[in-house]
Amino acid sequence: MARINAIKRSGLHVDIDYVVHKKTALERAVILRYSTKNPDYHSDFVGFSEKEIEQEKNNLIKENDTTHCLLLLTSIEAMIRLDADQKYCEKKKDPLSKEIKEIYDRTKGERIKLDDDLINARINNDDAKIKKNYNYLKNCFKYRHWLAHGRYWDPKKITNFDFDAILLVMLNIIGETKYDFEI
């Protein structure tokens, strides 16, 4: 008999494909708004120099990238947590599922740490060739923490990541892992 899910699922999490689609759609909208193909271009930017218009467009594109980094990382976290919950509930016997069961038993399903518990469990049990991708992903979550809490402190030890780099690392993990993500 399967275990009861430790996570009460909301059904509202967004997947990676949706995040990519949304980021691209918004970026295209910004580019169109700031181009002369926009029918309201001349009235929208009265008094602005070409340089000011280009600067404002670039700032919005950069902020779109940053905002979608946060959304992408939250969708990755949901994927990792839902996968672990699924592996725990299905009582699989592979090494990763056994380690996840030990984590759930140790924590009673409460306060399971994303990086110290779940990502490390994957590092311990997955192919060594993708360990660097998991470690990169752990650093991305430090960036996510900084973004989620308002970006008000100087992130001396936090690297700024861009959306495409985070996406590429996660797609590499998904493509190379020997343990499929089950959500």
Q: What is the pTM of this model?
A: 0.90
Q: What does the pLDDT look like over 76-126, one tens digit per residue?
A: 999 999 999 999 999 889 999 999 999 999 998 788 999 999 999 999 999
Structural domains in the chain (count): 1
Q: What pLDDT, in 10s, does the model give residues 124-166?
A: 999 999 999 999 999 999 999 888 888 888 777 777 789 999 9
Q: Is residue 112 part of a domain?
A: yes
Q: Is residue 122 in a domain?
A: yes
For residue 79, tell me if it sits in a domain: yes
88 inside domain: yes
Of 91, 139, 84, 134, the C-alpha closest to 107 is: 84
DSSP conformation letters of 44-107:
HTTT--HHHHHHHHHHHHHHHHHHHHHHHHHHHHHHHHHHHHHHHHHT--SHHHHHHHHHHHHH
Q: Quick check: is 8 in a domain?
A: no
Expressed as residue numbers, the domain containing 107 is 16-37+48-176
